[in-house]
Structure 1
Amino acid sequence: MSVSKISDKLSISPQPSVDDVRRLREKGYATLINNRPDAEEATQPGTVVESREAEHCGLTYVYVPVTLGTITEADVRAFQKALDASDGPVFAHCKSGTRSLSLFLIGEVLDGRMAADDVVEFGHAHGFDTSAAAVWLKQHLARRPRVKGFFDKHTWSVQYVVSDPATGKCAIIDPVLDFDEKAGATATINADAILNYVRENDLTVEWILDTHPHADHFSAAQYLKEKTGARTAVGERVVDVQKLWKGIYNWPELTTDGSQWDRLFAHGETFKVGSIDAGVMFSPGHTLASITYVVGDAAFVHDTLFMPDSGTARADFPGGDARILWKSIQDILALPDETRIFTGHDYQPDGRAPRWESTVAEQKKSNPHLAGGTEEEFVALRTKRDKTLPMPKLILHALQVNIRGGRLPEPEANGMRYLKFPLDALQGAAWE
């Protein structure tokens, strides 16, 4: 096994054997990072075997699978997080070591510790061709807009700040209001982290955007509006969702004209984030009101597509439809191949680090729910799978907040706020 020492803390290597993994701890390593997707070659051990051997040897194991053509900033940050968190030297590998080194070098450049012009020379000095990392950096630094994702591990949700580097204007997309269903407690931990990022980067919030009324977390849109004064917006078909759930909640006083938001977007409508053109695509199927925001080269799809290794969103909520979801996904996949796709959830298959960015090309090639499939096959797959899924644990809690733009119920005479949810209103979902 050929090992290259990159820094005092990081060494990289081509694919180690199982015996090599077993000897890492005795060689002084504390963490093993696997940057190689499974099934590249029949002979590679794979993440299940590597993680088992690492655990047996007392190593921390981290799985951040990438290819050189699909590295995202989220991958880079996941690699950095594993490196920083290790209490000792780190051993990272892919097939040759090039991807592991590329993740490290990209992070060094993004954080200002290395110049982009030095990436290729550094690679050559260590026996690697890192030209792909240099190309990635050139493309990344030229891109607009800048996208920062915030992962909420409690609800598996991803929230975004999308900003225009030229003007410092930004939009917040699908922010989470923290809710502990056991204690009935609310908090603003996620939203305040977003506000800290906005403040630290001297950004001005123009928009607070919902892609749809969420069923698995509370929206922090109203809280952030109060803090920033920014306009809130959602798709115009939110009124259909309001009318549907008004009946389910038996809520006669609920206003169902969408007036809880400052703006209701129609399909094809355009707006700006700073100087960057943005548009709206109606993307129903998961819900009646789901929309996709396309800001520059970035599409925020929330519950339509997940990362390619996780497939697509369910379509069995009230108002959902698998066939309509298929058509919405085809519209998204008709965007240019290089369009960046940002999803709203990540459930970390195989225990990998959270990821939320892909591309149209990657989705078409690698998403098992879509690649080479037909509409009928998708509908059959989605319908069969949805029958096995329990309802989100917060759906009845969250919808009564989110169909009002993230407003909590008004306090009652005793000063307390109360949620209301019906019994036996949602039939057919699997039990956990």
Structure 2
Amino acid sequence: MEPIVHTVWEPVTGTWQYIVSDPSTKQTAMIDTVLDYDKDAGLISTASADKLLDIVEDNGYIVTYILESHAHADHLSASRYLQRVLSQRQNERQPLVCIGEQINQVQATLGQIYDIPESELHDAFDYTFSDGETFRLGNIEAQVLHLPGHTPDHVGYIIGSNTFTGDSIFNPDLGSARSAGKLLSLPGHYRLYTGHDYPPKERRGENSEPSGAIPYTTVDRQSKENKHVKLGTQEDEFVKMRNERDSTLSEPKLLRQSMHVNLRGGRLPARSTEGFKIEHIPAGVIRAG
């Protein structure tokens, strides 16, 4: 059985957000959600998350999981805001906020760098998945695929013939893949839904998205066309390319703010922190502590 997949692009950070639902039971997962943040003004908004809530309400979905592919460094997670609102709407049937079990390693390393109290990292997520673990969306079995490389905690989610890859691979014309071996070994017709898209000029307007952003391609297409890791690419060649390319990249614009929220499992810091300006917190957005 195949799920219904809703794709929602957030253009400011280029993030693809997903709603995945079992059509027979309406049990649903949200994947890699975005809490809007204006760094200069210090304003937090739930506009992107509210679009997801509208889709859920319009379709009568019951959200049981809010899934993170990893601790994002380029956007704030809306997981706890969504959890609070959905719990109220679903008569206290609270969805679980989940991530890969190696998040502990990321929290231990980056928690020290960003001076996050250990008490705000402990049990920050409702559940952490191990590699190969399965769970159910109604009548559909989903599987967790550990995809370290981008981050140690990175996982993908296989639901039907769809794999939600996070940042482990991008669309073929962008490449930027890590941990691609596991993904390219999946059946050729499987769809690989990416965590981001930054469409180049020649692709804008190519499809129904005004930006030209594309949520997925197939394993077959990635294997033939991905400019960094198509079939035949040698490991030493890829490692050399990645090291050279990574050395030229600047850090994500929202790195500090994203880490403060996402390492806390989607909660804002309990107090103001250096470099994280917050002038307004909308109702329903949760602080740690």
Aligned to 1:225: 83
The answer for the alignment partner of 1:11 in structure 2 is none
Instruction: Determine whether 1:390 maps to 2:250.
Output: yes
2:227 aligned residue (348, 368, 372)? 368
Give 1:202 deviation, angstroms: 1.1
Gaps of 5+ in 1: 1-142, 314-324, 413-417, 423-432
SS in 2 for 1:330: helix
Structure 1 residue 340: Cα displacement: 0.7
Change (3 A) 1:285 1:421: farther
> Is 1:275 equivalent to 2:139 in the alignment?
yes
> Could you tell me which amino acid in structure 1 is paired with residue 4 of structure 2?
R
Counterpart mapping for 1:178-257 below 5 A: 178-228=36-86, 229-257=94-122
- Residue 390 of structure 1 deviates from its aligned partner by 1.1
Q: How far apart are 1:254 and its partner, in Å?
A: 4.1
Supply the distance in 2 between the matched residues of 1:379 and 1:349 (Cα, whole angstroms).
24
The one-letter code matched in structure 1 to 2:50 is D
Alpha-carbon shift at residue 249 of structure 1 (Å): 1.6
Matched, 1:172 2:19: no
- Contact 1:249–1:421 (Cα < 8 Å) also in 2: no
CA distance, structure 2, for counterparts of residue 152 and residue 377 of structure 1: 33
Quote the Cα distance in structure 2 between the aligned partners of 1:348 and 1:281: 26
Q: Aligned to 1:338, what secondary structure does the other structure show?
A: coil
Cα distance between partner residues in 2 of 1:198 and 1:219: 18
1:333 aligns with 2:192: no
Q: TM-score, normalised by structure 1?
A: 0.58
- 1:403 maps to amino acid: L
What secondary structure sits across from 1:294 in the alignment?
A: strand
1:304 to 164, 168, 182: 168
TM-score by length of 2: 0.87
User: Is the 8 Å Cα contact of residues 236 and 266 (structure 1) preserved in structure 2?
Assistant: yes
Residue 345 of structure 1 aligns with which residue?
Answer: 196
From the CA coordinates, give the structure whose radius of gyration is larger: 1
Q: Does 1:419 align with 2:273?
A: yes
How many Å apart are 1:376 and its aligned residue? Answer: 0.8
From 374, 380, 393, the counterpart of 2:240: 380
Structure 2 CA distance for aligned equivalents of residues 336 and 218 of structure 1: 33
What are the within-5 Å matches in structure 2 for residues 7-406 of structure 1? 144-228=2-86, 229-257=94-122, 259-313=123-177, 325=178, 328-351=179-202, 352=204, 353-371=212-230, 372-406=232-266
Indicate the SS of the match to 1:409. Answer: coil
Supply the distance in 1 between the matched residues of 2:31 and 2:141 (Cα, whole angstroms): 16
SS in 2 for 1:213: coil
Deviations 1:314-347 (A, max 9, x none): xxxxxxxxxxx3xx21011111111110001000
1:421: Cα distance to partner? Answer: 4.8
| 1:376-418 per-position Cα deviation (integer Å, ceiling 9, x unaligned) | 11111111111121111000111010001110112x5xxxxx2
For 1:92, the equivalent position in structure 2 comes to none
Percent identity between matched residues is 41
- AA in 1 matched with 2:184: L
Residue pair 1:246, 1:254 contacting (<8 A) in 2 also = no
Give the number of aligned pairs.
260
Mapped partners of 1:421, 1:294: distance in 2: 37
Deviations 1:46-85, CA, capped at 9 Å, x for gaps: xxxxxxxxxxxxxxxxxxxxxxxxxxxxxxxxxxxxxxxx
Q: Would you say the 8 A contact 1:241–1:289 is kept in 2?
A: yes
1:170-192 CA-partner distances (Å, limit 9, x unpaired)? 10001000000010100100110
Q: Distance in 2 between matches of 1:295 and 1:387?
A: 35
Map of 1:97 onto structure 2 = none
User: Which amino acid is 1:303 matched to?
Assistant: D
CA contact (8 A) 2:35 2:75 kept: yes
Residue 248 of structure 1 deviates from its aligned partner by: 0.4
Q: Note the aligned Cα RMSD (angstroms).
A: 1.5
Does the 8 A contact of 1:364 with 1:370 survive in 2? yes
Contact 2:180 2:229 in 1 (8 A): no
The Cα shift of 1:256 comes to: 4.2
Residue by residue over 1:138-161, the C-alpha shift from the partner in whole angstroms, topping out at 9 and shown as x without a partner, is xxxxx7111111111110001000
Is the 8 Å Cα contact of residues 308 and 366 (structure 1) preserved in structure 2?
yes
Distance, in Å, in 1 between the alignment partners of 2:251 and 2:25 is 42
Contact persistence 1:155–1:217 (CA under 8 A): yes
CA distance in 2, matches of 1:145, 1:238: 27
The residue number in structure 2 matching 1:49 is: none
Deviates more, 1:205-214 or 1:246-255: 246-255
